[in-house]
Amino acid sequence: MPYDLEAPVTRNTDLGHGNFLIEFEAPEIVGCMKPAQFFMIGVPGSKLLLRRPFSVCGLPGTFDDGRPGSAQVLYKVVGEGTALLASLRAGARLEVLGPLGRGFEAPEPGRRALFLAGGIGVAPFPAFAAALRREGREVGLLYGARTAGDLPLLEWFERVCAPVEVATEDGSRGRRGLVTALLEELLRKEDPSAFHVYACGPQPMLKAVAQWARRHDVRCDLSLEARMACGFGVCLGCVVPTRGSGPEGDVGFERVCVEGPVMRAERLAW
């Protein structure tokens, strides 16, 4: 059950290259939130009318220095709303609605979790990685970005996950190329059916992953993004085309905020 709270910012750390990790106190929300669920976050008095959606990145237990009753959000400055967030100091107040949407489900027993992250798409994975590791599950991360600076929290993942493989488009860190190449390579060596793939990143990457998963029949969940007005299912603004959801069982539209943000790759009619 979601709550709409005023949440005080406890810190807002500049991770460089326009990436920030903001922490705020919201015990009621945090108490019932699952990895890859999201918040709608607004800044009171700001000129933006609509709140902005952000995945939960850290929950209590995710980061060693996380405060009790607090959540962390990893974000990148891409426009007015994220620039405004970046200007906030500890003590500022946020309007936070959450938890919203459907989060990640743990892999079936015996399967290994494999995360595919594209740049800031890494945001929902820390809380999930920490939770799975606590249960003794194996978690791998394939992490792609344009350039080395766009790999926030990489060191954290290197401590928590294995394997952690990196690809950058400019070759400034890890392999030169796309993250999907890492995926193909890994699963050439290992049995795809031993994995449950979770992917989050820019749409072209997700489309490629979804196609690949369909082709190889790998269980694959995507954490999607869309422009949102409400975040809780009533504006119908955030839809993606999905198979079987249309008026006659054909392709229809489903809401990323309620039926997602996590959706099974094969459902998407991209």
Partner 1 sequence: MVKPDLRVKLGPLELKNPVLTASGTFGYGLEFRPYLDLNRLGGVVVKGLSPRPRAGHPPERIVETPAGMLNAIGLQNVGVDAFLSEKLPALRAYDTAVIANVFGETLAQYVEVCAKLDGAPGLAAVELNVSCPNTEAGGMEFGNDPRALARVTRACREATALPLIVKLSPNAPDICEAARAAADSGADALSLVNTFVGMAVDVERRRPVLSRGTGGLSGPAIRPLAVWLTWRVHRAVPLPLIGMGGIMGARDALEFILAGATAIQVGTANFVKPDAAVRVLQDLEAYLVRHGIASVRELVGALEWPDEAAP
Ligand X SMILES: Cc1cc2nc3c(=O)[nH]c(=O)nc-3n(C[C@H](O)[C@H](O)[C@H](O)COP(=O)(O)OP(=O)(O)OC[C@H]3O[C@@H](n4cnc5c(N)ncnc54)[C@H](O)[C@@H]3O)c2cc1C
**Interface with ligand FES by CB under 6 A: which residues?**
228-231, 233-238, 255, 257
CB of 259 to ligand X, least distance (A): 12
Does 55 sit near ligand X (CB under 6 A)?
A: yes
CA-based angle 199:204:205, to the nearest 5?
Answer: 30
When CB distances are held under 5 to 8 angstroms depending on the partner's kind, the choice from ligand X, ligand FES, a copy of itself, none that residue 87 binds is a copy of itself
Q: Residue 1 CB: number of other CB atoms within 10 A?
A: 6
Give the integer Cα–Cα distance in Å for 41 and 189. 42
**One of 60, 209, 261, 267 touching ligand X (CB under 6 A):** 261
Does 82 sit near ligand X (CB under 6 A)?
A: yes
**One of 18, 106, 211, 253 touching partner 1 (CB under 8 A):** 253
Torsional sign, CA 161, 33, 201, 47: negative
Q: Label the pairing between strands 219-223 and 262-264.
A: antiparallel
Does 202 sit near partner 1 (CB under 8 A)?
A: no
When CB distances are held under 5 to 8 angstroms depending on the partner's kind, the choice from partner 1, ligand FES, a copy of itself, none that residue 257 binds is ligand FES
Say if residue 44 is exposed, middle or buried (CB neighbours under 10 Å; 0-12, 13-18, 19+). exposed
Site for a copy of itself in 85-144 (CB under 8 A): 87, 89, 91
Q: How many residues does the structure list for the chain?
A: 270
Q: CB under 8 A: which stretch of 23-31, 55-63, 163-171, 248-256 binds partner 1?
A: 248-256
SS3 155: helix
Provide DSSP, 117-147.
Answer: EEGGGGTTHHHHHHHHHHTT--EEEEEEESS
Give the integer Cα–Cα distance in Å for 174 and 2. 40
Does 84 sit near a copy of itself (CB under 8 A)?
A: yes
Place of tokens 């079987």: 244
Of 84 and 186, CB closest to a copy of itself = 84
Does 13 sit near a copy of itself (CB under 8 A)?
A: no
Does 241 sit near partner 1 (CB under 8 A)?
A: yes
Interaction site with partner 1 (CB under 8 A): 1-2, 4, 42, 47-51, 95, 97, 226-230, 232-241, 246-247, 251-253
Interaction site with ligand X (CB under 6 A): 38, 52-55, 73-76, 78-82, 120, 123, 225-228, 256, 261
